[in-house]
């Protein structure tokens, strides 16, 4: 899908975070105008209960209201906002009351709850554009799911999977102490390894050689921030 030149808003409602991007599209280029980020923890308890909690829904609704105020500030006569695209991912997919959540949001925005395959496709399109000519493994670790996509920019991915494995889901299933015990860490690793091994075995079978692994989203940036002792 392509968009006409102009100003747009993109709202991403994830299992842990809620993000807003305001950007201008000019001749196929995307120029960032503003980025907003908040931890809303929509997916708290979904892995165990199968439902979004009322408190979590209220947090997201309040965050969206604030983002709409931000977007309104950039909706100027000389740069009108043409459209707001709103998407939700793993927690909203998994929860039995996901449609109810979407209906409540509909009073503010029209929400698309996208499947894992679409989430993986969008992640690959965004991240691979910075590394043309390389065989990439794009990894998007979210709160409820992880998308893993292999391929090269400008071509269809050779292998794409969305796993029901994410930082919120792993924490709630395995990490009952803070910090987690070695046994809890081992159990989490084993569960993840068993789920993901067939995917990587498939890459080996087709002879796909990975030039670079590109990790996106909050978990990856948090790990790098800790490693680099970044204060900001």
Q: What is the pLDDT along the chain (232 residues), one digit of tens a residue?
A: 567 899 999 999 988 899 999 999 998 788 999 999 999 999 898 888 989 999 999 999 999 999 999 999 999 999 999 999 999 887 788 889 999 999 998 888 988 888 878 888 888 988 998 899 999 999 999 888 999 999 999 888 999 999 999 999 999 999 999 999 999 999 999 999 999 999 999 999 999 999 999 999 888 989 999 999 998 7
pLDDT of res. 1? 58
Report the distance separating Cα 96 and Cα 108, nearest Å.
21
Spatial contact of 18 and 38, defined as CB atoms under 8 Å apart: yes
Nearest alpha carbon to residue 16 among 37, 42, 36? 42
Neighbours of 136 (CB within 10 A): 23
CA 114 to chain centre: 11
pLDDT of res. 178? 94
Spatial contact of 184 and 174, defined as CB atoms under 8 Å apart: yes
The model scores a pTM over 0.85: no
Spatial contact of 145 and 131, defined as CB atoms under 8 Å apart: no
Q: What is the three-class DSSP state of 66?
A: helix
Report the distance separating Cα 97 and Cα 54, nearest Å.
10
pLDDT of res. 2? 66
Q: What is the three-class DSSP state of 83?
A: strand
pLDDT of res. 231? 86
**Residue 137: CB partners within 8 Å, gap ≥ 6?**
148, 149, 150, 210, 212, 213, 214
pLDDT of res. 19? 94
Report the distance separating Cα 49 and Cα 136, nearest Å.
36
């Amino acid at each position: 899908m392509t968009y006409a030149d102009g100003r747009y808003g993109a709202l991403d409602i994830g299992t842990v975070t809620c993000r807003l991007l305001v950007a201008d599209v000019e001749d196929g280029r995307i120029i960032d105008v503003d980025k907003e980020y908040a931890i809303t923890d929509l997916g708290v308890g979904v892995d165990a209960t199968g439902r979004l909690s009322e408190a979590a829904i209220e947090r997201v609704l309040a965050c969206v209201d604030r983002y709409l105020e931000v977007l309104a500030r950039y909706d100027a006569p000389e740069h009108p906002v043409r459209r707001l695209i709103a998407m939700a991912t793993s927690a909203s997919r998994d929860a039995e009351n996901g449609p109810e959540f979407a209906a409540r949001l509909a009073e503010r925005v029209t929400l698309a709850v996208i499947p894992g395959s679409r989430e993986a496709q969008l992640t690959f399109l965004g991240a691979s554009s910075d590394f043309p000519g390389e065989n990439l493994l794009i990894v998007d670790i979210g709160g409820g799911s992880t998308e893993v996509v292999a391929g090269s920019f400008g071509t269809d991915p050779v292998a794409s999977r969305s796993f029901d494995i994410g930082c919120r889901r792993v924490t709630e299933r395995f990490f009952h102490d803070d910090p987690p015990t070695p046994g809890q860490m081992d159990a989490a690793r084993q569960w993840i390894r068993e789920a993901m091994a067939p995917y990587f075995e498939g890459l080996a079978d087709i002879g796909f050689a990975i030039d670079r692994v590109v990790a996106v989203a909050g978990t990856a940036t948090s790990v790098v921030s800790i490693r680099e002792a970044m204060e900001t």
